[in-house]
Structure 1
């Protein structure tokens, strides 16, 4: 036997016994997510939730948006930049506001699931100065267990849960929002 085979045989011979995985069915919910609970958590994380009836309400909220605005869906913000989808992400370094669609919201932690399908360029929500996510209230689930059930297996190469603006704190209990990513997060909630 070679040293490699000896090592692998030793590892295989010292495996712990197989255990049955615990039943987690008690964590699953069959009720829809609560938009009020979702709003409360998002706001406690430093984000903002704004109810809108149509996409046009987004532009009305940002009537004096400074700088470069990028919207994944042109209906979110008519007049937003259009030449941003090609490149390695550096073309987005001057983006002041990015508006992206969200697939799924989680009431228990205020997180929103987005994938590269929605983002087009993976770095977009992390490089923009301010981030806005458009989400349907009917796509809010109660818990992360429900979110993972909904998401299922990998369907895209990249996906991320975003919860609130970026933040960091030091040992002196100083919290800084927007330290290494978006300085603000606004979620536009459609009925």
Structure 2
């Protein structure tokens, strides 16, 4: 056995027996309407929100705000893009995209955050290389706090998961806030009910054992 394999074998043999994780209680969250709390947190982090009645209005919003010639990559069939996006799309090819469109699985009222997995993004770089991100969110898909998000089955099962809170921002240089320095320059939440078939809120009620 090579030195590397022997070393790893000794580490595996020395692993302690798995134990059940302690059950973390759902701590009390602030009172108030989840939608209002989410919007307040989103605005605080530099995001914005609009409400539409149907998906066709999203393209009209994009044209009005970002121009009719904006290059659009859409990860949701609800909004047509100008660039085809599928699992075979090279991640780096999205570097010239003006607007990315994606539907969030759910939002977190506590922080104004949006949750995505590889299923929502289709190509994960959509959330980082595009100039502007437009996120569809069902008003019914809000959880109160991060503790609620961590208990969801889809959070646990995803191969890739990320909570996005507003546009990219930094204040490292002389304390001046700069948005878009390391990622998307703007993030707009579009309140739009999800079509049938989109997963609903699901929580994990029992602790999971460590591997």
The residue number in structure 1 matching 2:152 is 150
Aligned residues: CA RMSD = 2.9
CA shift in 2, pair 1:21/1:158, >3 Å: closer
CA shift in 2, pair 1:69/1:152, >3 Å: closer
TM-fit CA distance, 1:175? 0.8
Q: Does 1:113 align with 2:120?
A: no
Question: Which has the larger strand fraction?
Answer: 1
Contact 1:92 1:128 in 2 (8 A): yes
Contact 1:165 1:182 in 2 (8 A): yes
TM-score for both structures, normalised by structure 1 = 0.80
TM-fit CA distance, 1:28? 5.8
- Stretches of structure 1 lacking an aligned partner (at least 5 in a row): none
- Stretches of structure 2 lacking an aligned partner (at least 5 in a row): 1-6, 194-211
Q: Does 1:170 align with 2:179?
A: no
* SS of equivalent to 2:134: strand
CA shift in 2, pair 1:26/1:154, >3 Å: closer
Contact 1:106 1:142 in 2 (8 A): yes
Say which one has the larger Rg: 1
Q: Give the Cα–Cα distance (whole angstroms) in 1 for the partners of residues 63 and 33 of structure 2.
A: 31
How many residues get paired? 178
The residue number in structure 2 matching 1:74 is 77
The residue number in structure 2 matching 1:159 is 161
Q: Give the Cα–Cα distance (whole angstroms) in 2 for the partners of residues 153 and 142 of structure 1.
A: 15
Deviation sequence 1:138-168 (CA, Å, 0-9, x none): 1111101111112456323111100000011
Contact 1:165 1:184 in 2 (8 A): yes
The residue number in structure 1 matching 2:93 is 91
* SS of equivalent to 1:70: strand
* SS of equivalent to 1:39: helix
* SS of equivalent to 2:36: helix
